[in-house]
Amino acid sequence: MSVWNFLRQWKGKSKKKTPEQLYLAPEASQMISGSLNKNKRILDQAYQDCADVIQRVIRFGEKGESGALLVYLEGTANVEEIDEHVIKSLQKSKKPVRSLEDMKQALSVTDAQKIKQFADVFKNVSDGKPVLFLDGVPSALILGLTKWATRSVEDTPTEPVIRGAKEGFVESLHVNISLIRRRIRTPKLKVKTLEVGDYSRTQVALTYMDGICDKKLIQEILDRVNRVSIDGVWDGGMIQEQIQDQRWSIFPQIQTTERPDTICAAMLEGRAALFFEGTPNVLIMPTTFFAFMQSPEDYYSGFIISTLLRILRTIFILIALLAPAFYIAVITFHQELIPTTLIMSVIQFREQVPFPAVVEAVGMEITFEGLREAGVRLPRQIGPAISIVGALVIGQAAIQASLVSPAMVIVVSITAIASFMIPHYDLSIAIRILRFPIMIIASMFGLLGVVLSVICIVIHLTSLRSFGIPYFEPFAPFRKKASLDSVVRAPLWVQKQNPQGAHGNRNQSVKGRGQKT
């Protein structure tokens, strides 16, 4: 084979396939026929070995001279309404049915749309909508009689609050959008839908406030999502890592939530939300580092209480990040910083420990992280008990066996408590990961290594962007009005402009870096 022929064949194979070739049946390119038998043969061929696809031939008229073919997916279509509003309505119809318009009048179904191609048939059947063919008519009707199984709206277990609404998103896209519509009752709330996933064809909805959100931001989000090439999407996290600006950073650049009030507040600040069918997790973009340090109930309590809580969270985030490294640095290099009485007590316990402080800390941290993950994965009835008992038993046994010192157990415990103070799980994960390299650097360079690590983290945070918005805003760059709702929360009557509300008024680029997907 010549090189030219090989390149031509390779180019032909690498050519992007059409949707019909990729995720639909080969018959999707065919047009609907006027023959009911031919349409049934095409459906039989496409849905071969699909036991959950129901095809039912309906005979109606005075002598059964008219025929129709109903196709739907078992478990997703509303069978009760199909029997009541489709089959019985056709069988009771006294007028002749010779066209789809006649069929619409005979059916007591409000949502009925006309289609002419089998690609639309396969897509809508997969979406749970029944399709009705009429003999002698080269088109079909899509009936909006779906019935997806979903759980009821209840409080979200991942973002509990003392004050505020006790409603969380569910796995139904339409229910989630309705929760937003109930809170923001204006036509300015816009919803744009699209599909993601070559095979899953997951429905995605982008919501934003018209006139508040920057139109360039909306277009950039749509462009990034449309560029994503993936077989299936089961959660927003599968899209999140492909559309964020810096993919190699461990810091989350897109906020995730399951609370409707958080989404509404974000959209009123000029941000956009991305909903996915089949998951309660919703993406908010753009976002900043300080948005992950805030809780929804900060706005439901007084500004003094909210400010104190935010300052407390900031302190505990620093403790969760630096406490083990600071202990290692002081014990290894800077013993003169410890009071004499305390250092004598620490030395007395450490004399029996055969490992250096860094080995103690890394071992205890890894053990605690394992216990934490085990508590999450175990059944709810025994998960918390196992994690608490395991931590107590292992900690006490390690002290008695002289594997670790009591001071190290206290430091690791305080660090663990501090990590639970972080409101958002994504930021908590990033802090927990960074803790380990900082401990190793502190064991080699002491407090100088800790300071250099903090400087590197701050430089990285200030270099990040979230859809063109500086990640460390409002402090880098500094924005006075936005700083009123960051580490502190000023009274609502003082905040004349929302911290993210200026996004719609900025004329800056929202394009990210290297967004080829």
Q: How many domains does the chain have?
A: 3
- Residue 320, in any domain of the structure: yes
pLDDT greater at residue 162 or residue 26: 162
Q: What is the pLDDT of residue 513?
A: 43
Reduced DSSP (H G I as helix, E B as strand, rest coil) percent helix, strand, coil of the chain, to 5: 50, 15, 40
Q: How confident is the model at residue 63 (pLDDT cuts 50, 70, 90)?
A: low
Domain that holds residue 381: 303-463
Check pLDDT > 70 for residue 4: no
Same domain, 313 and 450: yes
- Band (295; pLDDT cuts 50, 70, 90): confident
Highest average pLDDT, of 13-17, 144-148, 383-387, comes from 144-148
Same domain, yes or no: 130 and 188? no
Q: Which of 451, 455, 462, 466 is nearest to 500 (CA)?
A: 466
Q: Assess if residue 362 is contained within a domain.
A: yes
Band (pLDDT 50/70/90 cuts) for residue 101 is confident
- Whether residue 343 is found in the same domain as residue 220: no
Residue 353 pLDDT > 50, yes or no? yes
Are 323 and 436 spatial neighbours (Cβ–Cβ below 8 Å)? no
282 lies in the same domain as 183: yes
* pLDDT confidence tier of residue 7, bands split at 50, 70 and 90: very low
Residue 68 lies in a domain: yes
Residue 471 forms part of a structural domain: no
Q: Per-residue pLDDT for 499 more than 50?
A: no
Per the prediction, the chain carries an average pLDDT of: 83
Neighbours of 263 (CB within 10 A): 26
Over residues 464-481, the mean pLDDT reads: 89
Q: Do 318 and 450 reside in the same domain of the chain?
A: yes
Which tokens in the block code for residue 317? 């985030």
Is the domain of 337 the same as that of 459? Answer: yes
Angstrom distance (rounded) from CA 100 to CA 85: 16
Residue 359 in domain: yes
Q: Is the pLDDT of residue 500 over 50?
A: no
How far apart CA 258 and CA 43 sit, in angstroms, is 40
For the chain, the first-to-last Cα distance in angstroms comes to 33
Instruction: Say whether both 274 and 365 belong to one domain.
Output: no
Q: What is the arithmetic mean of pLDDT over 32-38? A: 88
* pLDDT, tens only, 226-262: 998 888 888 888 899 899 988 889 999 999 999 999 9
Look at residue 504 and tell me if it is in a domain.
no
Does any domain span residue 516?
no
CA atoms of 457 and 452, how far apart (whole Å): 9
Together in a domain, 95 and 226: no
What pLDDT does 68 receive?
87
Residue 487 in any domain: the answer is: no
Do residues 218 and 327 share a domain?
Answer: no
- 147 with 166: CB under 8 angstroms? no
pTM passes above 0.85: no
Structure confidence at residue 504 (pLDDT): 47
Are residues 278 and 243 both part of a single domain?
A: yes
- Cα-atom radius of gyration of the chain, to the nearest Å? 30
Q: Is the pLDDT of residue 89 over 50?
A: yes
Sequence-distant (6+) residues with CB within 8 A of 208 are 189, 190, 218, 267, 271, 272, 273
What per-residue confidence (pLDDT) applies to 497? Answer: 52
Enter the tokens of residue 380. Answer: 């709810």
pLDDT band at 12 (very low <50, low <70, confident <90, very high): very low
For the segment 358-381, the average pLDDT, to the nearest whole number, is 80
Close Cβ partners of 393 (under 8 Å, ≥ 6 residues apart): none
CA 99 → CA 80, 104, 124, 477, 488, distances in Å?
A: 25, 9, 21, 65, 66
Would you say 70 and 86 are in contact if contact means Cβ atoms under 8 Å apart? yes
Helical packing angle, 406-420 and 357-377, nearest 10°: 40
Last residue of a domain, one of 121, 143, 165: 143
The residue from 238, 253, 286 where one domain ends is 286
Q: Are residues 314 and 344 in the same domain?
A: yes
Which pLDDT score, from 0 to 100, does residue 508 have?
A: 45
The span from the CA of 79 to the CA of 73, in Å, is 10
The Cα 346–Cα 406 span in angstroms is 8
- Alpha helix positions (H), 74-232: 79-82, 88-92, 100-106, 118-126, 173-183, 215-227
Q: What percent of the chain is modeled with pLDDT above 90?
A: 31
Assess whether 128 and 95 both reside in one domain: yes
